[in-house]
Amino acid sequence: MMRYLPHTPEETAAMLAAVGVDDLERLFDVIPPECRRTRPMTLPGPMSEWELNGHMDGLAARVTPWSRARVFLGAGSYPHFIPEAVRFVTQRSEFVTAYTPYQPEMSQGTLQAIFEYQTLTARLLGLEVANASMYDGASALAEALLMAVRLTGRRAVAISRAVHPLYRRVAATYLDPAGIERRELDFGPEGTTDPARLADAREIAAVAVQSPNVFGCLEPLAAFAARAHEGGALCVAAFTEPLAFGLFASPGSLGADIACGEGQSLGIPPSFGGPGLGMFAARLAHVRQMPGRLVGETHDLEGRRGFVLTLSTREQHIRREKATSNICTNNSLCALAAAAYLACLGKRGLRDLARLNRDKAEYLKRGLAAQGVRPAFPAPTFNEFTAVFPPGFRERYLRLAENGLVAGFPLERWYPELSDHYLLCATEVHERADLDALIAEVRP
Amino acid sequence: MKPLSELSFPEDLRYVESHEWVRLEEGIARIGITDYAQDQLGDVVFVELPEAGKTLARGAAFGSVESVKAVSELYMPLSGRVVEVNAALSSSPELVNQSPYGEGWMIRVEPSAPAELEGLLAAADYRERLKG
Amino acid sequence: MNPVQAAAGLVFEEPLLWERGRPGRTGYSLPRRDVEETPVPEALAAEPPEIPELSEVDLVRHYVRLSQWNVAVDTAMYPLGSCTMKYNPKTNERQAALPGFALAHPLLPEALCQGALELIAALECLLAEITGLDAVSLQPGAGAQGELAGMLIFHAFHRRQGRPRSKILVPDTAHGTNPASAALCGYRAVPVASGGQGILEPEAVARLMDEETAGIMITNPNTLGLFEEHVAEIARIVHAKGGLVYGDGANMNAVLGRVDLGRIGVDVLHLNLHKTFATPHGGGGPGAGPVCVTRQLAPFLPVPRVVHREGRFFWSEDFPLSIGKLQAFWGNFGVLVRAYAYILSMGANHLEEVSRLAVLNANYLRVGLRGDYEPAHDRPCMHECVFSDARQRPHGVTTLDIAKRLMDYGFHPPTVYFPLVVPGALMIEPTETESKEMLDLFLAAMAAIAAEAREQPELLREAPRRCLRRRLDEVQAARKPRLTGSPPAP
């Protein structure tokens, strides 16, 4: 007996009789012997619900959540407080256990919620249209570059080296098989990328810049957009921390043609790296080359407003090999969380939260500088920044980690020339005492 | 979808098996899709057409026509240079359904190989092919 | 028995978020400020975006009302073919929400995340055991990404052999993601027609297989719900010319505990955790699409991979032949937790039972429906069965009408118009979690609809009537797309 398998022996017998076989096994006779397993599966379990809880508690206890330690890690995943109302909304099983809204009449909940998400995303990023989301920020960037290639017909892109390294690696995975050339623009001593380094925009489909970049620094997006447009290329603005746009100018307002990045900060728990939320917004003129699902507004037979999936002919189930992408899902439930979180904050709340985030990081920056640990780069930052720790900090870093204080991320792992550089993140969840504790530990 | 008897195939046009029609107007070929094609597609929502000036060979894809649930390629019934594209279709794709041989025309082409005109089907032949 | 489960009741209209909001409201409780304000440089400060302002009450009511407009697995039967809409166990949600999992940063030093690394390693082993393949990557974030990984592995393998090939064989019953994924890797999809029996025939594959072909993509059971009986021979034919076999594991629910993909000759397989392994669909995602491979192809798997050394788990990038990364971090860990919990809850015997009952349920529907509906193939099926509207079309009723009318009876429609090889297809997959009485209600509803098609077809053409909305104008939505709400008033 198993609580997810409702059949009783009587029911099974009755059904077998209806089907006209005397044994369930007959239904599998069609499987040839050479395809069959030679021995039954060896798996643990079945565990009772109680045992499962104990087992999972045991595993989870051997992971350090940011709620039980002082973790100053950002670098693409950010600790933020998620209001209970937002968590409640994302747990409604009518959202959780529903399918993709292909039958719109009985899926208006999902459809309106995603239409709202698209709208809020477009407003947040300062562009005209946003899709229903992609897997994560990295794959969203890869798809943005492929879209630029389709739009311009040019088979090369330029990517700043200050774009998150893991994003650049995912972009490589998507672009290399298509034979798209990737040119790298190095960052400068200020921790930002110089648009003048973009030699000839006429040769590339797009230039991709992340702002705030991996070092936490704001990039000169407007200048990049201008330079890209001079050469008929697109400007793709990536991001890992969308809360920054509660304070600073949106990528669209600075001239970006496509804005793409990670929405995990918006009401989605970090969950050891996934699921996340690939946010993607672009200009309306380019919408037919945009990958991913789109929800559109329409009306029903009685003239009432309703929502449907639309412009589906871009997608794999219709175009098949000529599709704009092979993407079949969107991270719908994560998009719902993001929309609910933004709506929970509201315009003013978003501004206040963004200010508080920056102030926490600036406090940390000042406190460290007072101890002789200076920021690596002068460029303005949001809720993370790069600091140069005393030489040989590595050992102390590991000891501190084992005692529940993770002093940022050692950038040397991604940028070998940046030894002793640590990427530090401070958000609304880091209390003054936490910040002071870190400052005390990093004294040279 | 309508039965064959209810579909129209004007006698003065020529046709190809991929469901495009041709009307020769003082040496320039006006091209669109047939009543059968628009009926099969259902409501047309978008038509993708080439830029004027483009030169294409017979059988090459010159664009596509979309309904909500399907996309169909459009194929050149003859070789030549595109001299005009029906701009009305971008705001009113439904013209393809409402008037496939009239306002729903798609491109006008200057034929480069007049001999190809011999190979086009007459209305009766095209209708026969549809029955089979 | 009255098969109409859909009742009436108060369901509420609810405006859009920005129609609901009012300036000055807030739903958020800002954590206390304990640091000084740092002024923002003039040049950088910008107006915040126009996000609507709602009280917490508005927010909750808004979304609860929206949720009530949805039909979900938790409300009704959802017999979507090839989607495996089985029940999503609630204990899995509890596990995924544990702070150690939910609040874990992906870049924690390994010493601080041994529990997570262990779970990843354990799930990889479980999936290897279940499929009969040797190595697994949990990184792909969806089935389509798993397919992409598979195609990239093909590509990398062939390049290493010194012969990068250009074509891939794709059956006419394949899911649209198959050729799309192949095309992303630069492969040209060559269609293979299924035979009269609805399955692939070795001769057809042999005719097409050559040394320019990277391999074949096979879904087994296929999208007609039929087991590809010749799959082992087809694999031999493909291997003989140096090609690889890709298995689309979307239909794994039919064969758990029964087939050994390794023995069959599958080289790369993707699984859909949100199908076979009961993780929720979430209205379209997130899911997870792990990719499983033979020992020979293990070096090509995405990185990093979890390795075990001296009693501890570590990330390793030491795989020079890897196809690289597909997601920024390690995969949809939150989804992996749910699948892992499901497998532990079921154990081997119950997982085998899952397939037995999934196949029984589908066949029970098959025999119950064939009196009124035309089966695509009148023979036993696996976990799903396919019918068409051939008998209803003479009355001017189509598959679309049948689907819309089913809603009025309280069922989510089956998959419609897929696979493409069956015009007007109705693809029905009940899954094992539906009880006999639910299936009987479904059969009664379908019988009633067939009768309506004969006697009162307008009831179908005007359906649905009981949902929040009647049929929506998808043509207008595509012709004049409105993809965002009206811009806010200045």
What subunits touch chain C, counting only 3 or more CB pairs under 8 A?
A: A, B
Q: How confident is the prediction for chain C on average, in pLDDT?
A: 95
Helices marked H in C209-332: 231-240, 261-264
pLDDT tens string A377-435: 999 999 999 999 999 899 999 999 999 999 999 999 999 999 999 999 999 999 999 99
Q: Is C121 exposed, middle or buried (0-12, 13-18, 19+ CB in 10 A)?
A: middle
Percent of chain C's residues with pLDDT above 70: 99
Phi and psi angles of residue A189, each rounded to the nearest 5 degrees, phi first: -65, -20
Q: Please report residues of C whose CB lies closer than 8 A to that of B66.
A: 478
- Tell how far CA C457 is from the center of its chain: 33
pLDDT greater than 70 at residue C78: yes
Count other Cβ atoms within 10 Å, centred on residue B11: 7
pLDDT at C302 over 90: yes
C213-219 and C167-171 beta bridge pairing: parallel
Provide the 3-class DSSP secondary structure of residue B65: strand
Q: Which tokens is A416 given?
A: 């070998």
pLDDT grade, residue C359 (50/70/90)?
Answer: very high
Give A219-245 pLDDT, tens digit per residue.
999 999 999 999 999 999 999 999 999
Residue A320 confidence (pLDDT) above 90: no
Q: What's the 3-state SS for C156-218?
A: HHHHHCCCCCCEEEEECCCCCHHHHHHHHCCCEEEEECCCCCCCCCHHHHHHHCCCCEEEEEE
For C92-344, CATH number out of 3.20.20.80, 3.20.20.210, 3.40.630.30, 3.40.640.10 equals 3.40.640.10
pLDDT of C164-179, one tens digit each?
Answer: 999 999 999 998 788 8
Kind of pairing between the strands at C188-192 and C213-219: unpaired
pLDDT at A191 over 70: yes
| Count of other CB atoms within 10 angstroms of residue C5 | 16
Over residues C205-236, the pLDDT tens digits come to 999 999 999 999 999 999 999 999 999 999 99
CA atoms within 13 A on the CB side of C374: 14
Which chain C residue has the Cα nearest residue B46?
A: C479
Mean pLDDT, rounded, for B76-95: 96
Q: How confident is the model at residue A325 (pLDDT cuts 50, 70, 90)?
A: low
Query: What's the CA gap between B106 and A106, in Å, rounded?
Result: 38
Do A319 and B71 count as a contact with CB atoms less than 8 A apart?
A: yes
DSSP secondary structure code for residue C342 in this structure: H
Are the folds of C92-344 and C348-476 the same?
no
Residues C372-422: tens digit of each pLDDT: 999 999 999 999 999 999 999 999 999 999 999 999 999 999 999 999 889
Residue A313, pLDDT score: 76
- Residues C322-351, mean pLDDT to the nearest whole number: 97
Determine the 3-state secondary structure of C392 from DSSP.
Answer: coil
Strand arrangement, sheet containing B55-56:
B14-15, B20-25, B28-33, B107-111, B80-85, B55-56
**CATH class assigned to C348-476:** alpha beta
Mean pLDDT across the stretch C319-344? 97
The total of other beta-carbon atoms located within 10 Å of residue A62's CB is: 16
Q: What span, in angstroms and rounded, lies between the C-alpha atoms of C267 and A321?
A: 22
What's the pLDDT score for residue C483? Answer: 96
| Contact call for residues A239 and A211 (beta carbons, < 8 A) | yes
Q: Which residue among A288, A318, A322 sits closest to B70, beta carbon to beta carbon?
A: A318
What is the DSSP code (8-state) at residue A46? P
Structure token pair of residue B131: 């029955």
Chain C CB contacts of A53 under 8 Å are 91, 94-95
Asked whether the beta carbons of residue B46 and residue A312 sit closer than 8 angstroms, the reply is: no
Residues facing A36 on adjacent strands: C259
Instruction: Name every chain A residue with its beta carbon within 8 A of the beta carbon of C63.
Output: 89, 92, 95, 113, 336, 340
Which pLDDT belongs to residue A316? 59
> Does the pLDDT value for residue C371 go beyond 60?
yes
Give tens-digit pLDDT for C92-111. Answer: 999 999 999 999 999 999 99
Contact residues, chain A, for C255 at CB < 8 Å: 31
3-state secondary structure C78-147: CCECCCCCCCCCHHHHHHHCCHHHHCCCCCCCHHHCHHHHHHHHHHHHHHHHHHCCCEEECCCCCHHHHH
* Integer Rg of chain A from CA: 25
pLDDT band at residue A327 using 50, 70 and 90 as cut-offs: low
Q: A184 burial class (0-12, 13-18, 19+ CB within 10 angstroms)?
A: exposed
C-alpha–C-alpha distance, residues C472 and A111, integer Å: 12
* Under 8 Å between Cβ of A241 and A162: no
At residue A215, the pLDDT reads 98
pLDDT of C485 over the 90 cut: yes
Helix or strand run (H / E) with residue C51: none
Q: Is the pLDDT of residue A108 over 80?
A: yes
Q: Do B45 and C417 touch (CB under 8 A)?
A: no
Q: Does residue A317 have a pLDDT over 70?
A: no
The CA–CA distances, whole Å, from B110 to A375, A401, B30, B56, B122 equal 67, 75, 9, 10, 20
pTM, 2 dp? 0.95
Per mean pLDDT, which range of A107-121, C5-19, C230-244, C424-438 is the poorest? C5-19
Query: What domains lie within chain A, and their CATH numbers?
Result: 68-82+346-441 (3.90.1150.10), 84-341 (3.40.640.10)
Tell if the CB–CB gap between B71 and A312 is shorter than 8 Å.
no
Give the CA diameter of chain B.
Answer: 38
The reported pLDDT for the residue numbered C427 is 96
pLDDT in tens, C105-158: 999 999 999 999 999 999 999 999 999 999 999 999 999 999 999 999 999 999
| B69 chain-A contacts, CB cut-off 8 A | 312-313, 318
* Per-domain boundaries in chain C: 92-344, 348-476
| A89-101 average pLDDT score | 97
The pLDDT of C346-375, averaged and rounded, is: 98
Query: Of A412, A316, A354, A325, which Cα lies nearest the Cα of A75?
Result: A412
Partners of A125 in the beta sheet? none
Sequence-distant (6+) residues with CB within 8 A of A379 are A190, A191, A192, A215, A217, A218
This model of the complex carries an ipTM of 0.97
Alpha-carbon separation of residue C128 from C20, C105, C125, C291, C347 (angstroms): 50, 27, 5, 10, 14
- Beta-bridged to residue B15, according to DSSP, are B21, B121
- Average pLDDT over chain A, rounded to whole? 95
pLDDT at site C487? 73
